[in-house]
Every structure is written in structure tokens, then in C-alpha cells.
Structure 1
């Protein structure tokens, strides 16, 4: 007969000794009773004092105590929730490793997670009174609850295909040695053999973005951003002018072959600021870099307050609602149902503080060109400053690297790392941040 018992605690030590002596007298086998660490030594001495020894050891527990223990466990853990999600996210953030599914926006799970977050955030936004909601139209935020990856990829691809991609290279009447036409011809010839046309055609047809995970390409970007060693140059890529920074032909070739690609980067704020989820990552202008170089205490530029063109339309709808409420008594039930349906449709179309769809240009909506969006960000206690991970367009990132390489207005302390601007959703203040490409997760 097998008995199961679990005697836990110092108060049950005497009962344990008595039970062991009784069982050893009745049987010819050695019984081992599991108790806490404080009473293990007492039970072991009891075995040797009785002078009884056997080769077989059986783990015994009394059924009643086991049932009580199981009932207690059931009462404690019957309403348990999954824990450690926030801690695992923070742990991956300190390690510099992507966290699933926040940092995988191009997979099915990432898209579903973003859609669920958008629905929850929009419902929470609607529960606030209209006067207590932040007006994202005046703040210059088009989509505060979901990043506009597809729209950004489309617009940066359009800018890459036009001559706008190289207009910024003119610095005080100077331009690089390579002319735009010759470089564009070289890129077209080399793109036929090296660019992944299938991926590009699929992205253009379905308007889908993707995250770049090519180790060689990310290693090259890490070198251009001031980190890592220079990998072996692939065949067909032209050599850069300084050996470390990208040339115009090389950047155009990479941009043409990965125009819909986004890069997972790490941002380190210079002085103040705590980046938040879905914060905007923008490109600084030459004036911003010059002010930062001359004044080290310069935090960053301010986004001018935008006008709200939908405010008058909402007021007109409010007046119509008041008039309709006065006429409700004279109308029939069918007309009241139609009015209620019309009200629901108008509320879904126009919400105070949000841009109605379809949205306009995402890149040039604000005073600084939009480069990407923050996936995860917070204040880092280990480094004493704000840190975040974001996704930026490859075409825009190459534009930032080339522009700051030509201008030469980088402040000391960051090496060759490019500078970007970070702005939270509920603020007009931009903050400077160093950009680097992480390679530890590959």
C-alpha cells in the first residue's frame, strides 16, 4: 500500500518522527518522507538511530495532506493570469533583441497585433470627453494608433524614383563628383542583375512593406552608421569615396533594390526626452544640425501648431444634430431610425482630434520629413537616458547618411553615427537621437 504525505513546517517535525518510527516497526522497508529543508537532517538521524537500513527507498505522502495541498494550490492559481510579458519586453530591450510580435510588423502575427492595438486604443480614445482628448490634428499626427508603413514605403519609393532623392546633395552650390545621370544609368544596368525584382514587383502590386534581414546589407549599413567592421563588398557595387561612407551610386543601387524595405535601428537620445510607443522619427534639417553644433544645450526644434480644418465641419454637424433633436417628436419611427443610422455614420467618419480617411502625404505632412516610427521605447535606467527601437525606411536612411556626410555638421561625441529627430505623439518638441543598426539579433 502506497501512502502519499507532505509534511511541511517546523511544527510537524515531532509528528514526522513518530510516523517514521511507527512505519519502520510495521514494515521491512525504508520510507523516505519529503519535508522542508530544515527537517531533512532530523529525519536522516532518525534512520541511523533506529539501526534500520534497506536498499529500497519509497517516496511516501499521506493522501489527506496531499489533497489539502492540491486544494490550496487550486484556490491560489485558479484565477492566475499570464505574467512576465512586460518584463520580457524590457529584458529584450536591454539586450538589443527584437521582441515578438512588436518588432515583427511584416508577419501575420505582427499585423494582427497592430490591428488589435489600434482597436483598443481607438476605443479608449473615444471614451474620453471631446474636450479631454488630445487633438492629434493640431499636433500634426495623422495616425496616432497605428504606423503608416505602406504609405511611407510608397512615398519614399516615389521620392527615390524621382530626382528629389538627389536634390538635397546640393550643399552651397557643391555636389558630388558623380553626376546624377551617369549614376542613374549605372544603377539601371546593375539593377537588372542584382536587384530582387520579384520582391519589388510583389510589394508594388500589393503595396506591402518588409523588414530587411539580409546580414550583408545590415552589416554594410552598420559600418556606414559608425559601428562594426566593413564586410566584403559584393560584386557590382562601386567603391565609396572615403572607403567608409556610401557613394552616390552605391546608395542609389541599394535604394532601388530595396525601396519598400524598412530597417530595425536603435536610437539613443542625446540629453532629454523619453521616447514612447509610435513616436515619430524624422530627418533634421541643416539649420537644426548647425544649431546643435554651435549650442550643445539645444534640445531640438519645435513643430508648429497645425490648423484643424475639420473643426468647422464638426460644428456644423453639431448644429444639425440639435435641430434634428427638436424635430424628433414630429417625425415617425422610421425616420428616427434613419437619423440614428446617419448619426452613427457621421460619427465614424469624423471624430474630434483625428484625421479622417483617406489620409494625405505622410512623409511631408510635418515640417520635418517623416522617416519611420518607434516600435518600443522608454527611459533606460542602465544608461540614464531615453532609448528606443524603431523602423525606418531604407531610402530615407540612405538620404540621412549621405546628407550628413556631405554637410559635415555632426556634433562631437557620436562618431560617424547619423542624427535623427524623435517626437512623441502628444508633444510638439523634437529631440535629437543617435542612430545605429543592431547586428546582435542576426
Structure 2
């Protein structure tokens, strides 16, 4: 008898006996089940990793998650399915860069991108080097990608700053001077300065500027400041200058262009003329001329579609299409819309004279060369040759000047120059002035001829023919490669290239030494035909001009003590609305703990200057105080501004009468000591204690603020907290309800259950708007305390404030109410303050500091 053997678990206190045989069918069934499971695991692996994450490290690429072709071929299908489940959209195949950079495809893409926003001729050059923004229907450069803020100021002060202002709209008017003057008298006022028919402007020697308003609405409803220039008279027409038809160009900002065009059509009673081409003659041609024109039209070949697209892209204008034309048959007044048909560049700085002298060389007439438009002009008109010679002589004399400020202010000089590509240096060179003039060489500045402003650019046919017959850069490069035997030397075909007519307009800059730095902002404006914009731009850049954008417009105006866009004009209102929306959206993108609580800082409107509400609070009319915010305007009356300046200086004891209560007075403010200002800073009235405290601080060399605003209570803080908690509870309750519904339906379903989305976007948006109103109550009903929003009375705002390099301190351009300024001057007189001062405060600070101010007469 055999005894039972102990097994491996006998030490645990028990014994297990193993069977002596195994049942084959049971073993086979279990093994088959295991094999099936292994096969399923191999075929359908369950992994929490993505396909491209399972690869070895040496095969992984960062672009695998975006481009399936980076993976091995056998894994691409699984990768695409995983990406589609993740909600990533399927990427379409993009053409290769080589295909997209073909000239035809590139041109087609450029034309497509110009449908929504208009491009300037220098757009591609700017797009590679500047931050581009969308403004007024254009795609314009804002600021350089490099750090060029200080460099642009140095260029505008000592060197040369170059800006493309071709987006300014040009409107051409034709008619008698008396008729045009009568129409513009309804759009402006003689209190703002010279009229459009002043003798200093009608001769065509100078460019003028005028403030335009709605028809009969002066001083309210301002459109903006416009520049204008008259076409000079020929020597034969000087006797009957009042009877003949004259041509007037008006340059206006693009934001005010639609309103001005509407007002001109209404004032002059113009009717649109349809189906009329650009090629317009001022006088009716004779029968022989009509026959010649017909022959020319038959002989000229029509342009191919590719050539038309190329010309359209090159000019960015309507020069080869139809332009808007209006006419009054009774008064024979015509209006031609030349918007986007002419280039205009602005050069600012003392070296602008040297840059233009090097880039613009007068065309020398060679009788042996082929006939161009300049030869034909000399043959048709005998006076044109003498005019060209006198203009060239005057420009050669100007080459010895060191600054444009030495010339006649706002003078107009027309030139027929060589193609700018011929005088371009091999590498960028800084143009420097020549030796200073001798006292005997200044005679040409005193005896300026009247024919210096005559130019063929006033003729629309010549402008269009210039653009059509110019040699495009690609053809010019091919001709240079074919004919240039010596690198850098001129070729024979370059001598036969047509001349380019340009018009130069001098800008005097600052003219009041006691207000701002003398001659700061002086320079030249260059008017050039369409098609030559890029050639002229590159020539000026290569001769040392510093390119600038829209930011430099505001910088130069701030350094001159003015503002580019006044708040009562169309451009100013559009800009204020845009800035308010952008700053407000940026403010609410921040988390609550990163936002400034302006209610505790006692700031009513941190992102805009509430001028209507400010004027309403300072008015003496009780009924107007209770009504809605009233309209305001900037004081532009030169006589009242002069009297006010004398009163501020102490030369006139009585405060001038006749200043309307709903106007604002522009001031240039300068910080007395330390302190920084930001946009939309408050201008407040000081108290007697503030003046005494300031004297003690000056004596003790104490740089602390004069007064610090105490923290106010935020009444909406608890409301915001409760609303936030209730909103979170509501969202959690809705989510829990949807989860319960999904679980309940999943119990009775064999497939995956999908329930409807939350649809809480409307509730979230309403909650956001409700919280925004609690953070920044900017409605008209809440702005009843603009004047008394803080401990010091607010009587003005400074929409723009920045550090000024000319003043070496922080400066700002502000607008104050007449009643508040009167109260400030009386307080300064009572406290024996020699120089009137006011308090200023940044919207993000509680500190008040003193600032002195100056009155701007040239608003």
C-alpha cells in the first residue's frame, strides 16, 4: 500500500492531491480560448498612446501630428482616423511654394487680396518690413518690425523721415474762382483763417489748408482739415483770371472723403456723368482733333487681359478704368474723383532737401534722342521750355540749402526729372548738404517766379500716358543686362527714357518759437504720377531717408504740439471709437485679478474721453444739464484764441467774452517735475492747499505727488461675486442634468449614446455683458459725475500723452472747457501764481501732479 506524498503547500497546514491524468478535450478547449484572445489582442491592440507616439524615438518628428506623410505608410490610416476623432479638420493639399510664386499665380493672388482692402504701390515693400493694419479701406503700414521709435524721431528732427501718404484722397474741381469760392464759403468760415480764394493761394505759388464743416453747420459737424492747391495760370491768362475756368485740387483724409464728396455734390448741385472715360479734355476739341483722336484709337492695339491685370496691380488706381465725374451744366463746374490715381510722399526733416536734390535731377533735353512727351510739349508750347529751364535753375540753386525751412513757406515747385532709377546709388548712402550759401547767393529766394508751379500733371491725359509708356522694372532689368557693357555706367536707352513730372510742396513746420521748437517738422511733399511710386520710393530710401508708418504721423504731430485727428472731426470720432473697442476688449480678456478696478480708482471712463458729458456738466444751463450729452466742437476762432492767449500771459486782464460753452480749447501740457501720463489722463482743478503744498515740496526737494486720491468703494463688487457664483452653480446644475440623462439612456441602449449639446452660449454671453457693465458702467445715465468723479474737479481730458523728446519730459495734448479754464485762471491769479498750472492724473494712478500748459493758435 502506497502512502500519499506531501505537496508544496503542506507547510501551510494542508495537502493537495493532483490527478493522475488530464482530460484532453477540456485542455484543448481552454487553450483555444486563450489563443483566440491573443489573436484579438494582436489584431485590435488597446493602447492609450497615439499612433505616432508608439514609434521609436529615433523615428519621431514634431510634424507627425500635423502631416501624416511623416509617418510610415502602414500607420497613416490609423493616424488619420485618430486625428478625425479628435475633431481636427482634414487638411487640403496646398500647392507648392514654387507653384504659388510663379509670376502669373502671384499676380492673381495679389489681385484677389486687393478686393477687400486697397493696396498702395509700395505695399509689397512695406509688407516685408512693417506691421500692416487695416484702416479706412486700405492696408497700411503701422510701424516697423524693428525698434525704430527713437530712430524715426531723430530722422524727423535732424535727418529725413519718409512716409507714403498716397491714401489721402484727391478731389479735382474745375470752374470759375468766384463760383468755387462761393461754394466753399458755405463749408467753412473766415474766422478759421484765409479762405480758399485768397490771393496768396490763387496764384498757384502756395498750398493752403482749410477747415471744412457740414453745409452751414459751423462751428459744429467738422469734417477735418483739407489741403488745396490751384493750378497756376499761363502767362496769357493772367489778365482774365476771374473769367476763365480754373482747376483746384483738394486733398482730404480718407475717413472724411465720403462726407466731403457728398457735401460738394450738394453745394454745387452736381449731377453724375456716366459712361465717360478718363481721357477728358478741358475744352471741346475741333473736328480735325476728333479725326486725329479716332485715328489714334484705331491704330492703338487693345491691351491683353494679362497686361490689363499687370497695369491694374502696378497703379492701384482707376487710371485705366472709369472715374467718378460730376458736372453742373448751369455753372459749368466739374468734379473729378482722383482718389487712388496720384502718389504722394512726405519727407520730414532738415536733410529732406539733400535727399531730394540727390534723387531728383532735372531732365536735360537732348535733341538727338527720340521724341518723348517732353519734346512734343516744347514743340507745341513755346513757353513750356522757358518754364522748364527756370524750374531747373531754381532747383539747382536750392541744392546749396541746408534745410527746407529756408524756402518760402508752402511754396509749390514743379519739376521734370529724370527717371529716379537712373540716379539710384549702388548701396544705401546718406545724402548730406553742400557748403552753406554765401549771403550774395540768396537772391533767388527773394525773387521767386510765378511759373515755378506749372506742371503737366494737371492734365489727366498726360498722367495716363505716362503710366502706360513707362518701362516696368522687369523690362528695365532685361535692357540693363543686355546693353550695360560697364557695370554702373549709363546705357544709351537710359538717355531716351521719358522724363517724370513731379510737384514738390514745401512744409514749413513749427513757426512759433515760443510754442515749440522752430522749424521742427519742416520738409517736402512729393506728388508723382501713378506707376512711378515704387521707383521714387526706392530712390529716396537708397539716399538715406528713414521709412515710417502711421505711428510716425502721431509722433511728429505730438512733438509739434498738435494732434493729427481732432476729436470733433470725422477721423477723430472714428479713431476714438476704434480705440475704445480695442482697449475695452483687451481689458476684459484679462482675468479679474489682473484688471484695474477703475471704480476704486474713481475713474469713470478709462478708455475714451467723454467730452459730451464733460461739456454737459460744465454748462450753466440747468435744462441742458438734465438732458442728454450735448454736441461739442473745438474752438478754432483765431481772434478768440489770440485774446485768450493774451489773458493767459497776463497781458489782457479781462477774460475774453463770446466763447461758447459747448466748445473745447486745445492745450499743450507739460509735466513740471516727475510723473508719467497715459492716454485719457484727467485734467483737474487744484485747490489753494495744493499750491501751498507744492511750494513746500519744492523748498524741501520733495518729489512726492501733490495729492493722492483715496480709494473709493466698489458697490458692484458683492453683486459681481454673487452673480459669478450663481452662474457657476447654474452651469454645474445643467451639466449634472445632462449627465443623468445620458446615464439613464445608456442603461437601456446597446450602442453609444449621444445627447444634445449644452447650448449655453447665449447664457454665457449675457452673463459676460452683465459683468462688463458692473466692471465699467459707461452708459450715459451712469456718467452724471464726470466733473465730480474724484476729489478734484475734472475740467478736461488728454486723449494722447507720451514722452516728448523735444521737451525732454512727458507731454500731452488736452482739451478743456472754457468755464473750467476761466476758473483755473482766476484761482492762479488769486494765489499769485505767475505761470498757470493745473493738476493731471493718469487713469491707472491715484497721484496728482502739476503741469504747465500752452495755448495752440493753429488748431
Alignment of 1:58 with 2:482, yes or no, is no
Q: C-alpha offsets along residues 166-206 of structure 1, whole Å, 9 cap, x if unaligned?
A: xxxxxxxxxxxxxxxxxxxxxxxxxxxxxxxxxx99xx887
The equivalent of 2:827 in structure 1 is 403
The equivalent of 2:598 in structure 1 is 136
Alignment of 1:246 with 2:654, yes or no, is yes
Map residues 309-388 of structure 1 onto 2, 5 A cutoff: 309-328=715-734, 329-330=736-737, 337=759, 340-351=761-772, 353-355=775-777, 357=779, 358-359=781-782, 360-388=784-812
Q: C-alpha offsets along residues 113-141 of structure 1, whole Å, 9 cap, x if unaligned?
A: 11111111111111111111111111111
The equivalent of 1:93 in structure 2 is 558
Q: CA offset at residue 391 of structure 1?
A: 0.7
Identify the match of residue 648 of structure 2 among 225, 234, 258.
225
Q: Which has the higher contact order (CA 8 A, sep 6+)?
A: 1
The equivalent of 1:26 in structure 2 is none
Q: Distance in 2 between matches of 1:325 and 1:19?
A: 77
Q: Distance in 1 between matches of 2:854 and 2:632?
A: 21
- Flag the structure with higher helix content: 1
Alignment of 1:119 with 2:581, yes or no, is yes
Q: Distance in 1 between matches of 2:660 and 2:572?
A: 21
Q: CA offset at residue 20 of structure 1?
A: 6.3
Q: C-alpha offsets along residues 212-261 of structure 1, whole Å, 9 cap, x if unaligned?
A: 1111111121112228xx6xxxxxxxxxxxxx2335xx6xx54xx51111
Q: Distance in 1 between matches of 2:497 and 2:425?
A: 15
Q: CA offset at residue 400 of structure 1?
A: 0.8
Q: CA offset at residue 156 of structure 1?
A: 0.3
8 Å Cα contact 1:349/1:356 also seen in 2: no
Larger Rg: 2
Alignment of 1:109 with 2:511, yes or no, is no
SS at match of 1:420: strand
Q: CA offset at residue 418 of structure 1?
A: 1.8
Q: TM-score, normalised by structure 1?
A: 0.63
RMSD: 3.7
Q: Distance in 2 between matches of 1:214 and 1:9?
A: 52
Alignment of 1:418 with 2:819, yes or no, is no
8 Å Cα contact 1:245/1:405 also seen in 2: no
Q: Distance in 2 between matches of 1:424 and 1:57?
A: 61
8 Å Cα contact 2:559/2:805 also seen in 1: no
Q: C-alpha offsets along residues 339-378 of structure 1, whole Å, 9 cap, x if unaligned?
A: 6434422321323642353324111010000111112221
The equivalent of 1:389 in structure 2 is 813
Unmatched runs of 5 consecutive residues or more in structure 1: 22-32, 48-55, 61-68, 74-81, 163-199, 231-243
Q: TM-score, normalised by structure 2?
A: 0.34
Q: CA offset at residue 98 of structure 1?
A: 2.8
Unmatched runs of 5 consecutive residues or more in structure 2: 1-369, 371-418, 428-478, 499-533, 539-546, 742-754
Identify the match of residue 633 of structure 2 among 202, 210, 225.
210
Q: C-alpha offsets along residues 39-58 of structure 1, whole Å, 9 cap, x if unaligned?
A: 46xx8xxx9xxxxxxxx953
Identify the match of residue 290 of structure 1 among 689, 692, 699.
692
8 Å Cα contact 1:134/1:353 also seen in 2: no
Q: Distance in 2 between matches of 1:406 and 1:222?
A: 19
The equivalent of 2:669 in structure 1 is 267
Q: C-alpha offsets along residues 18-73 of structure 1, whole Å, 9 cap, x if unaligned?
A: 9567xxxxxxxxxxx9x74xx46xx8xxx9xxxxxxxx95349xxxxxxxx99xx9
Q: Distance in 1 between matches of 2:629 and 2:789?
A: 24
Q: CA offset at residue 330 of structure 1?
A: 2.4
Q: CA offset at residue 208 of structure 1?
A: 0.9
Q: C-alpha offsets along residues 138-167 of structure 1, whole Å, 9 cap, x if unaligned?
A: 11111111111111111100xx347xxxxx
Identify the match of residue 305 of structure 1 among 695, 707, 711.
711
Q: Distance in 2 between matches of 1:401 and 1:141?
A: 25
Q: CA offset at residue 266 of structure 1?
A: 1.0
Question: Cα gap change, 1:398/1:20 in structure 2, threshold over 3 Å: closer, same or farther?
Answer: closer
The equivalent of 2:683 in structure 1 is 281
The equivalent of 2:403 in structure 1 is none
SS at match of 2:496: strand
Question: Cα gap change, 1:319/1:18 in structure 2, threshold over 3 Å: closer, same or farther?
Answer: closer
Count of residue correspondences: 318
